[in-house]
Amino acid sequence: MSTLTNAPRATTTTPRKRAKGRAVWEENPTVFGRFGKSTVIAVTLAVFIVPVWAVVVTSFSTKASINAAGGLVLVPHGLSLSNYHLIFSGGTVTQALTVSAFVTIVGTAISMVVSVLCAYGLSRPRSFAQRPLLLTLVVTMFFNGGIIPTFLVVSDLKLYGSLWAMILPSAVNVFNILIIRSFFQNTAIELIEAARLDGANEWRLLWSIVIPTSRPVLAVMTMFYAVAYWGTFFNALLYEPDSRKWPLAMVIYEYTYSGNQMPGMGTTGIGGLADASQLGLQMCVVTLSLVPIIILTPFVQRHFAKGMLTGAIKG
Amino acid sequence: MASITTQEATPSKRRRLGGVREKGAQAPPKPPRMNWRLRLRRDKSLVLMTVPALILLALFNYLPMAGIIVAFEHYDIYQGILNSDFVGLAEFRELLSNPDFWHAFENTLVISFVQLILYFPIPIALALLVNTIISARARAFIQAVVYLPHFFSFVLVITIFQEFLGGAGVLNVFLNRHGISSWNVMTNPHTFKYLVTAQAVWKEAGWGLIVFLAALAAIDPALYESAAVDGAGRWRRMRHITFPGLRGIVVLMLVLRLGNALSVGFEQMLIQRQAVGAGAADVLDTYSYIYGIGGGFGSATTFGADYSYGAAAGLFKAVLSLILILGANKLAHAFGEDGLYRK
């Protein structure tokens, strides 16, 4: 408790300087409160940062340092790219990355186009059949056919085993549409009226006025859709019997969580485990799947509060 | 479904379903209603815009709803949905007399309850704490860090847990080095409910943090100031200003949680089922899949799969969930709050 020894000193000298943003009426925090608070926050941050850090560091570690650590490497020591070289020479991960990238890019594009169009179509006050159309959407939030009928329908549509099975069944998220819609309802009504007087039709209004003024919510929604597609797992499990069509999440499930040997990466395979540890390779795949998220999040982060809260809670 | 339709269709209430703006739109006198033909002609591009979404919903949401009839049939893949034998409620009778099903039901309720008790308060406590941090940059940083796992898929989250708490994970390496025997949390069926709760907290606490922080930011600072001037200390201010200010959002989140009480981490259970065993990991969500499609991981075996039985289990859960969601929203409205929809 070194903090206790500090306390008297603070009182004998000039009164402690107030933190800059603290309101005049607010009392200064007690030493105990300050200490407790910073401990809790430090622990919380560690719980979230350390695992991600360990995974990334392990993926760059040599076999020697992984063995020395006996598992995940927490303190970097002897970093190398050899795990990544090996993993990209194996084919499985490259293939999975391609599948994941395809599903994410194509899926997000389809979802966004469909959602934005639908949201705008339902966002103009007193438009034709708005209530029934909205109801058609909302019903699907409350009730669904369940896994089996969906599986049978997707199979009947000849999507079983196709990459589209990971995209189309989950392409429309009604919740997201409602969020976008509530944003559209509040954007630039005067601008819209003015443009309409100038002869712009609905398509033009959407493209030139509503979309440019709704960038925050659209950024957040793009992120939401992209992240969902990037992590797609269950649809792959259901509809993709062929391991060449597995996305990254399936590969992680199969070769990292379940610990099965990756083809071409086993002890007898090319390269083998001579200069790489199985764990290092596994963490490479996990890192590959984390990195796009960690890179992209900060760009949309500042929009979150605005983008989510307006619509998300009071859908 | 009928109940929704009637609720939505009542004219006095119908305005409330959607966005914020309609509330304001009540004020000016309504322009005279146009003939529907005219309105259709005027709005045809708007209606056209909704068509792609409606087609996708029709294919992947409404068609499966119609496909629910397989739950009342003895579905045969060679005969298809329309020609299979109709057996009425036989599958449901089988379902309700199967102890495995009731076990899955019990697991669902237990896990849901544990999550309610352990998971729900954490984001609130965290938000109260983070809210006292003065530096806006520090607050943003903490939010960003805690929110990050929200974007990880459950496969990732579980893999990370495995590497830390599993048999060969960081925890056990540490324990073994200090001469303590291994303690494999990942395969212990007795503590599984706490494990899945911990995973859910790790993944979703950031979402709750952002929601509650936004609610805290919405409390008028003048209230705190005048209370402080009147001599209220920080604990009294928290009790009499912060807590009442959070009441609305807490009720709402509780209600949403209650409405989703039967959905307890589908992918989580599915992924970890092999590790902890069916006894601990079978819940209503996964039951339908595992007993319907056969649980052949990666390869949905068409032979030996009992689609009808699985569909019956799925329908049972869907109906119960619907009742819960509608009930929870009723409850929210009784508290004077908006639920998932306004009423």
Q: What per-residue confidence (pLDDT) applies to B3?
A: 35
Same domain membership, residue A134 and residue A7: no
- Nearest-angstrom CA–CA distance, B59 and B331: 33
> Is there a contact between A253 and B129 if contact means CB atoms under 8 Å apart?
no
- pLDDT for res A132: 92
Question: What confidence score (pLDDT) does residue A311 get?
Answer: 44
Tokens of B186: 């990942």
Give the max Cα distance, chain B.
Answer: 83
Q: What confidence score (pLDDT) does residue B70 get?
A: 86
- The distance of A85 to chain B (nearest Cα, Å) reads 22
Q: Residue A49's pLDDT is what?
A: 93
- Predicted local confidence at residue A171, as pLDDT: 94
Q: How confident is the model at residue B137 (pLDDT cuts 50, 70, 90)?
A: confident
Establish if A77 belongs to a structural domain: no
Nearest CA in chain B to A175: B340
Is the minimum CB–CB distance between B326 and chain A shorter than 8 Å?
A: yes
Q: Are residues A195 and A92 in the same domain?
A: yes
> Number of CB pairs < 8 Å for A and B?
330
| Contact predicate A123/A181, CB 8 Å | yes
pLDDT at A68: 81
Q: What is the pLDDT of residue B181?
A: 80
Spans of all domains in chain B: 98-343
Phi and psi, residue B86, nearest 5°? -85, 125
Nearest residue to B164 via CA among A312, A72, A145, A180? A72
Q: Give chain A's count of helices (H) and strands (E).
A: 15, 0
Per residue in A1-21, pLDDT (tens digit) is 444 444 444 444 455 566 677
A73 in a structural domain? no
**Is A76 part of any domain?**
no
CATH number for the domain that contains residue A199: 1.10.3720.10
Residue A271 has pLDDT above 80, yes or no: no
| Contacts with B42 from chain A: Cβ below 8 Å | 128
In tens, the pLDDT along A210-258 reads 999 888 889 889 998 999 999 999 999 889 888 889 999 998 888 888 7
Q: Most A CBs within 10 Å: which of B21, B37, B61, as the mutation test of the A interface?
A: B61
Helix ranges (H only) for A122-233 are 130-142, 147-156, 174-185, 189-197, 202-205, 211-213, 215-230
My answer on whether A55 and A96 are in the same domain is no
Q: Give the model's pLDDT for residue A109.
A: 97
Instruction: Identify the band that residue B13 occupies on the pLDDT scale cut at 50, 70 and 90.
Output: very low
Q: Distance (Å) from the C-alpha of residue A144 to the closest C-alpha of chain B? A: 6
Residue with tokens 């009342």: B72
Residues A181 and A236 in one domain: yes
What confidence score (pLDDT) does residue B200 get? 93
- Complex-level ipTM: 0.83
State how far the Cα of A154 lies from the Cα of A164, in Å rounded to an integer: 10
Residues A145 and A261 in one domain: yes
Q: What is the pLDDT of residues A251-263, one digit of tens each?
A: 888 888 877 766 6
The single residue listed with the structure tokens 């929210």 is B332
3-state secondary structure chain B: CHHHHHHHHCCCCHHHCCCCHHHHHCCCCCCCCCCHHHHHHHHHHHHHHHHHHHHHHHHHHHHHHHHHHHHHEECCCCCHHHHCEECCCHHHHHHHCCHHHHHHHHHHHHHHHHHHHHHCHHHHHHHHHHHCCCCHHHHHHHHHHHHHHHHCCHHHHHHHHHHHHCCCCHHHHHHHHCCCCCCCHHHCCCCHHHHHHHHHHHHHHHHHHHHHHHHHHCCCHHHHHHHHHCCCCHHHHHHHHHHHHHHHHHHHHHHHHHHCCCCCCHHHHHHHHHHHCHHHHCCHHHHHHHHHHCCCCCCCCCCCCCHHHHHHHHHHHHHHHHHHHHHHHHHHHHCCCCCCCCC
Over the stretch B36-51, which tens digit does the pLDDT of each residue have? 888 888 888 999 999 9
**Cβ within 8 Å of residue A75, ≥6 positions away:** A57, A69
Q: How confident is the model at residue B108 (pLDDT cuts 50, 70, 90)?
A: very high
Question: Which residues fall within 8 angstroms of residue B91, CB to CB, at 6 or more apart?
Answer: B71, B72, B74, B308, B309, B311, B312
Check CB contact of B323 with chain A, cutoff 8 Å.
no
**Residue that is written with structure tokens 């005048």 in the block:** B226
**pLDDT category, B33, cuts 50, 70, 90?**
low
Q: Which residue has the higher pLDDT, B333 or B317?
A: B317
What confidence category does residue B79 fall into, taking pLDDT thresholds of 50, 70 and 90? Answer: confident
Of residues B289, B253, B254, the one with CA closest to residue B271 = B289
The pLDDT of residue B112: 92
Q: How far apart are CA B207 and CA B211, in angstroms?
A: 6
Q: Please say if the pLDDT value at position B1 is more than 70.
A: no
Kindly state whether residues A169 and A229 are assigned to the same domain. Answer: yes
With beta carbons under 8 A apart, name residues in chain A contacting B267: 233-234
For residue A78, is it within any domain?
no
**Residue of B57, B137, B145, B156 best to disrupt the A interface, most CBs of A under 10 A:** B156
Exposed, middle or buried, B24 (CB in 10 Å: 0-12/13-18/19+)? exposed
Maximum Cα interatomic distance, chain A, rounded to a whole number of Å: 81
What residue of B is the nearest CA neighbor of A299? B144
State the average pLDDT for chain A: 83
Read off the pLDDT band of A297 (50, 70, 90).
confident
In this prediction, residues A45-66 reach a mean pLDDT of 90
Residues A101 and A161 in one domain: yes
Task: Specify the higher pLDDT residue, A86 or B341.
Answer: A86
Query: By 3-state DSSP, what share of chain A in percent is helix, strand and coil, each rounded to 5?
Result: 70, 0, 30
pLDDT tens string B263-312: 888 889 988 988 888 888 889 888 888 888 865 443 344 445 688 888 89
- pLDDT, tens digit, for every residue of A304-313? 766 555 444 4
In which domain, by residue range, is A302 found? Answer: 84-312
Is the pLDDT reported for residue B10 higher than 50?
Answer: no
Report the SS3 class of residue A288: helix
Q: What confidence tier does B53 reach under pLDDT thresholds 50, 70, 90? A: very high
Chain B residues 184-223 with a CB less than 8 Å from chain A:
202, 210-211, 214, 221
Answer yes or no: do A38 and A148 share one domain.
Answer: no
Do the Cβ atoms of A143 and B144 come within 8 Å?
Answer: no
Are A254 and A293 in a shared domain? Answer: yes
Nearest to A154 by CA among B264, B284, B300: B300
Best of B159, B268, B340 to disrupt the A interface (most A CBs within 10 Å) is B159
**Is residue B64 scored above 80 in pLDDT?**
yes
The pLDDT assigned to B55 comes to 96
Q: What is the pLDDT of residue A309?
A: 53
| Structure tokens that stand for A234 in this block | 């269950």
Q: What percent of chain B is modeled with pLDDT above 90?
A: 24
Mean pLDDT for chain B overall: 81
Is B298 in Cβ contact with A240 (below 8 Å)?
A: yes
User: Closest by alpha carbon to B324, among B268, B245, B255, B275?
Assistant: B255
Q: Residue A148 pLDDT > 70, yes or no?
A: yes
pLDDT at position B303 is 43
DSSP, res A146: -
pLDDT at residue B236 is higher than 50: yes
Low-confidence winner among A157-166, B22-31, B112-121 (lowest mean pLDDT): B22-31
Q: What is the pLDDT of residues B185-211, one digit of tens each?
A: 888 888 999 999 999 999 999 888 888
pLDDT tens string B314-326: 999 999 999 998 8
Is residue A186 a part of any domain in this protein? yes
| Angle at CA of residue A187, ends A182 and A188, nearest 5° | 160
The more confidently predicted of residues B236 and B340 is B236
Closest CA to A65 of B254, B293, A74, B279: A74
| Residues A242 and A285 reside in one and the same domain | yes
- Answer whether A72 sits within 8 Å of B169, measured CB to CB: yes
Q: Inform me whether the pLDDT recorded for B8 exceeds 50.
A: no
* For testing contact with chain B, the best of A257, A284, A309, A310 (most B CBs within 10 A): A257
> What is the value of pTM for the model shown?
0.83
Domain B98-343, classified CATH 1.10.3720.10, yes or no = yes
Does residue B215 contact residue B249 with C-beta atoms inside 8 Å?
Answer: yes
- Enumerate the residues of chain B whose CB falls inside 8 A of the CB of residue A118: 49-50, 52-54
* pLDDT band at residue B19 under the 50/70/90 scheme: very low
A110 and A34, same structural domain? no
**pLDDT > 90? residue A141:** no
CB-CB contact of A147 with A83 (8 Å):
no
Task: Give the pLDDT score at A308.
Answer: 56
Work out how many domains chain A is built from and give that number: 2
For residues A108 and A254, state if they share a domain. yes
Q: How far is CA B211 from the centre of its chain?
A: 15
